[in-house]
Amino acid sequence: MKVLLISGPNLNVLGERNPEMYGTQTLSEIEGLVQQRAQEWSVEVRPYQSNHEGAIIDFLQQEKNAEGAIINPGALAHYGLSLRDALEHFPGLVVEVHLTNIYARDNFRHESVTAPVVAGVVSGLGWRGYLAALDALVGLLHERRGGS
């Protein structure tokens, strides 16, 4: 089973950017934690980060054989209509992750344009949200295959 781990704009500076809000873990550390958990599930994880919406879309289209994806679209969640379309077209299951609780922040962050086209959203659990997303995604994919 192959799962994409996609990180959008500004997530490359996790650990430096507003650590009181986003935590002190770097993106590399979070990817490492996800990789460790994925090994427990015998899942291959392919991490990718870009600050450019089009590059993320290109990656999704190139990796269309992946069974699932975890994406933290960052601010693209609130205005990335092209990304939304690409996620809708992606044949695998997708879980969206946000480090912070987007509903406890600025009003413009309360709506995710990408959320309606993904299987689920994890918001506000910090780095732990990525592990929750992976666990949920793997479970959903096993159910889709007819397993438990």
Active site residue ranges: 22, 98
The strands making up 2-7's β-sheet, listed across from edge to edge, are 44-49, 2-7, 68-72, 93-98, 120-123
Q: How far apart, in whole angstroms, are the C-alpha atoms of residue 148 and residue 130?
A: 21
Q: Which two tokens stand for residue 105?
A: 């922040």
The CA distances from residue 35 to 16, 56, 112, in Å, are 22, 20, 26
